[in-house]
Amino acid sequence: MENNILKCPIFYNSTTGDLSGEEIVQSKRTLGEIKSIFKDSDKVTENDENKVAYKVLAHFPVEENTSGGLFFGTSILSPGKVGDEYIMTKGHFHSKKDTGEYYWCISGEGMLILMDEDNKCWAIEMKKGAIHYIPGKVAHRLANTGNEEFVVGACWPSDAGHDYDTIVKTGFSKRLIDVNGTPTLV
Ligand code: M6P
Ligand code: ZN
């Protein structure tokens, strides 16, 4: 450090959603890893198993579960379907129930699928520039309904945690499927 002026350690490309810098953590989920979330999981062929369903770039400035901190990330969903169901994220409730999250669409098009604790399920269209506040106690999942990558930014509390188990047990009560070319929640 010279004269108390620091160099910025991370960079965000607001056009592509790309995050870069030493502290950025990258993860990915293949179709094989998440196939059980799809209605027609048997339609994921051996060939498709290694296909990347989505990648996440994230910045975790504090340890997970630290109260008062924030995490920041970009989710990049591949286009495509499993049967008639659009490629989607696993989706989760937050372990700390009263924590919210922001999602915003950077590029592509898709839907934010939401479900409350009474299993009431609905979806919101996402296109470039759309910002969505997800309140606490609402499970959230993204689905890519377009022909290009669907890129979504996210910011969430560092103590929110991910409750995937509830989704594994009960699933979302509705699925987003392609009905004659129209994304439909059924
Ligand atoms: C966003 C955030 C992350 C989340 C990621 C992938 O970047 O909500 O917390 O992990 O999307 O979603 P999921 O964990 O449901 O697979
Ligand atoms: Zn979340």
Res 1: pLDDT: 63
Res 25: pLDDT: 98
Res 27: pLDDT: 98
Q: What is the mean pLDDT of residues 101-118?
A: 98
Which residues are paired to 70 by β-bridges? 157
pLDDT of residue 102 exceeding 80 = yes
Task: Identify the band that residue 153 occupies on the pLDDT scale cut at 50, 70 and 90.
Answer: very high
The whole-angstrom distance between residue 157's C-alpha and the CA centroid of its chain comes to 15
Per-residue pLDDT tens digits for 34-63? 999 999 999 999 999 999 999 999 999 999
CA distance 85 to 128: 22
Q: What is the mean pLDDT of residues 81-108?
A: 98
Nearest CA to ligand 1 atom 8: 154
5 C-alpha vs ligand 2 centroid, how far in Å?
Answer: 34
Q: Is the pTM of this model over 0.85?
A: yes
* Ligand 1 pocket: which of 87, 92, 144 to mutate (most atoms within 8 A of CB): 92
Q: Mind giving me the DSSP string for 117-140?
A: TT--EEEEEEETT-EEEE-TTEEE
Ligand 1 site: residues with CB under 6 angstroms? 56, 73, 75, 89-92, 101, 154, 156, 162
The whole-angstrom distance between residue 52's C-alpha and the CA centroid of its chain comes to 14
Indicate the average pLDDT of the chain: 97
3 C-alpha vs ligand 1 centroid, how far in Å?
Answer: 38
75 C-alpha vs ligand 1 centroid, how far in Å?
Answer: 7
Per-residue pLDDT tens digits for 57-75? 999 999 999 999 999 999 9
CA distance 63 to 48: 34
